[in-house]
Structure 1
Amino acid sequence: MDASNRSVDPSCQSPPPLAIEIILELEVFGIILYSVLTFMAVVSMVVYIEECVFIYKKVPSNKKSVIAWVNGAAPVIGTMSCLGMWIPRATMFTDMTSACYFAVVVFKFLVLMLEEVGGDEAFLARAPKHKLRISTGPCCCCCPCLPQVGITRRSLFLLKLGSFQFAVLKIAFTVLSIVLYTNNHFDLTDLEITGAAIWINPLVGVLTNHRLWPVAIMFMHLRVALRSIKIIPKYAMYQLVLVLSQLQSAIINILAMNGTIACAPPYSSTARGYLMSQQLLILEMFIITLVTRLLYRRHYEPLSEEEEDKQEMVKNTKLTIAS
């Protein structure tokens, strides 16, 4: 049969379905799946609320805010994904909300590492013994010849500014995208050179790389000193949330827009791609929420100078033996 005569289901070219349409179309498997995923999202938020109560009762005031922000990354993304799953036409707004929240978490994680080591002054006190290695990912991991930078108030300010500026710019670009969307000038599926999305999204991607660089520099500098408070698995969870919420979702959505993910009425290819992304995120963020709760459950005091020196000595001894 000629391709031009093939019938195409109208729903494959229609906007995402309304919430009531989803409810009416659900079969037994769909009801079970949606119920389980919704339960996971609710449990994630309940666990986070319980963790916030623990934080505000047991954690010193200088750490309460940053730990609460960092702990909330997975539950917030999971909850927004659940809303996007039930209300597909709100997916763009739920994704933007998650991205804005995580943009703030990036800055808060950097501040958290500073607070765990004793604050800005304690970090600056490390200047006589240590320097910052800037040849790290995601910007300069391929440039090992870059010189190390001294620890000064200026370098600390630039590290904070590097991660804070993205939190501000991400929110600004989100507001701009919503304004353009209300005027029919912003469409995620519009890849034409005249579309706003083709300009805004790559710019946000470049800014994302630059915002991660200061956090990576700080982590590489403090990972030995903060090993006793499990900073490495904490950083791994932070990176995992980033990869799953940004990279995984982007890959699935690109496959959907290219038609690799088939249409399944009442979902178009693009809407089905978003649905798959939301459902995966709910499950993944649920697991990360439970792991994060275990990592942050204990309260740690700032490390003493003697403990830092001991950990540095152990590290140097291991390097000597290995060589």
Structure 2
Amino acid sequence: MDGTNRTDPACTQEPPLAIQIISNLDIFGIILYSALTFMALVSMLLYIEECVYIYKKVSSNKKSAIIWVNGAAPVICAMSCLGMWIPRATMFTDMISATYFAIVVFKFLILMIEECGGDEVFLKRSANETFKISTGPCCCCCPCLPRVPITRRSLFMLKLGSFQFALLKMVFTILSIVLWTNGSFNVTDVTISSAAIWINTSVGVLTIIALWPVGILFMHVRDTLRSLKIVPKYAMYQLVLVLSQLQTAIINILAMNGTIGCAPPYSSKSRGYLMSQQLLIMEMFIITLVTRLLYRRQYDPIPYSDSEEDEKNIVLASSEHCVKNTV
């Protein structure tokens, strides 16, 4: 990109208003915006229908977790659509998406435990087993780390490791909004003295810490829950993370550095945000369709050992409860 694009006043202006976007749309723009808005609308309608299905067909101990996890792609898709139409609200829509996904990280861990029968059944089945903690994203390069016995305390620590992200992400979001109203928070300010750089760095560290327990538990239960399609479910969860966090961060960095050229009424930064939102709408729409296939179905009970009579009775009782709900 040449230097003229960096000094052009049109490249340094604030994001355009919604009415400016509408008035500047050509035929291609109208088709594109209409198609993306339709995708976002369909994603939310499918999610609402999925929530009704889960509420009626799934046992109560799994309802909350499945609904939260299923909502990751539709919520991000809807927030990206709002940010596309109202560019000046991008900071808020991104914060809502990130806060929701922070809760999804914790809920996915809870879902894996509930798919195993809940805390008590999981602890009984794994009484003589250990967790492999040398997994990503924290310690995948440390195979020498000792394995941790599976106890009620270690399970609680895994839950706490993910829950702290859901809680503190919400706290940092509220703090960011408060600082923004005071003029002290600017997402484009990357100087060492800015509040944004410290808050974003803290959130990044918390994200890595929260993803670690989910990876540990997944490595432990992936064979047990293979019949419940836990591997593709985990893959979709990871894909949402990469696309909504890493992809967005890369595009935004390129925009802030001026690599992405401006196109009035969009400045370089605003155009980068626009590109990110449009990509996310299409990607989250596809993920919504895939997750619908993964979660909207009936599964056979997890096979348990015949010698574990207590656990078997719990599973049979749970299966009977699910059949009654289905009927």
TM-score, length basis structure 2: 0.91
1:277-316 → structure 2 map (5 Å cutoff): 277-300=276-299, 302-306=301-305
Does the aligned pair in 2 maintain the 1:19–1:88 contact within 8 Å? yes
When structure 1 is superposed on structure 2, of 4-13 and 29-38 the one drifting more is: 4-13
1:186-224: CA deviations, max 9, x gaps? 001111222111111111111100000000000000000
Cross-structure match for 1:75: 74
Cross-structure match for 1:132: 131
The 3-state SS of whatever aligns with 1:217 is: helix
Structure 1's unaligned 5+ residue stretches are: 310-323
1:258-273 → structure 2 map (5 Å cutoff): 258-273=257-272
The whole-number CA distance in structure 1 between the counterparts of 2:307 and 2:177 is 47
Q: Is 1:61 equivalent to 2:60 in the alignment? A: yes
Does the aligned pair in 1 maintain the 2:73–2:287 contact within 8 Å? yes
1:19-74: CA deviations, max 9, x gaps? 00000000000000000000000000001011011101111111111100000000
Cross-structure match for 1:36: 35
The 3-state SS of whatever aligns with 1:168 is: helix
Cross-structure match for 1:312: none
Cα pair distance change 1:56/1:263, threshold 3 Å:
same
The whole-number CA distance in structure 2 between the counterparts of 1:103 and 1:254 is 22
Q: Among all aligned residue pairs of Structure 1 and Structure 2, give the percentage whose two residues are the same amino acid.
A: 73
Cross-structure match for 1:202: 201
**Offset at residue 302 of structure 1 (A):** 4.8
The 3-state SS of whatever aligns with 1:218 is: helix
Cross-structure match for 2:117: 118
1:195-234 → structure 2 map (5 Å cutoff): 195-234=194-233
Does the aligned pair in 1 maintain the 2:6–2:258 contact within 8 Å? no
1:122-151: CA deviations, max 9, x gaps? 110123342100000000000001111111
1:132-151 → structure 2 map (5 Å cutoff): 132-151=131-150
The whole-number CA distance in structure 2 between the counterparts of 1:53 and 1:5 is 54
The 3-state SS of whatever aligns with 1:170 is: helix
The 3-state SS of whatever aligns with 1:44 is: helix
- What residue identity is the alignment partner of 1:57? K
Cross-structure match for 2:189: 190
**Offset at residue 300 of structure 1 (A):** 3.3
When structure 1 is superposed on structure 2, of 298-307 and 57-66 the one drifting more is: 298-307
Does the aligned pair in 1 maintain the 2:5–2:11 contact within 8 Å? no
**Offset at residue 270 of structure 1 (A):** 0.5
**Offset at residue 7 of structure 1 (A):** 9.9
- What residue identity is the alignment partner of 1:130? E
Residues paired across the two proteins, number? 307
Cα pair distance change 1:57/1:5, threshold 3 Å:
closer
Cross-structure match for 2:273: 274
Does the aligned pair in 2 maintain the 1:74–1:285 contact within 8 Å? yes
The 3-state SS of whatever aligns with 1:305 is: coil
The whole-number CA distance in structure 2 between the counterparts of 1:298 and 1:275 is 36
1:61-90: CA deviations, max 9, x gaps? 111111000000000000000000000000
- What residue identity is the alignment partner of 2:246? L
- What residue identity is the alignment partner of 2:20? E
Cross-structure match for 1:321: none
Cross-structure match for 1:255: 254
- What residue identity is the alignment partner of 1:207? L
The whole-number CA distance in structure 2 between the counterparts of 1:162 and 1:210 is 6
Does the aligned pair in 2 maintain the 1:117–1:302 contact within 8 Å? no
TM-score, length basis structure 1: 0.92
State the Cα RMSD in Å. Answer: 1.8
Does the aligned pair in 2 maintain the 1:9–1:265 contact within 8 Å? no
- What residue identity is the alignment partner of 1:26? L
Does the aligned pair in 2 maintain the 1:118–1:302 contact within 8 Å? no
Cα pair distance change 1:15/1:308, threshold 3 Å:
farther
Cα pair distance change 1:307/1:268, threshold 3 Å:
farther
The 3-state SS of whatever aligns with 1:166 is: helix
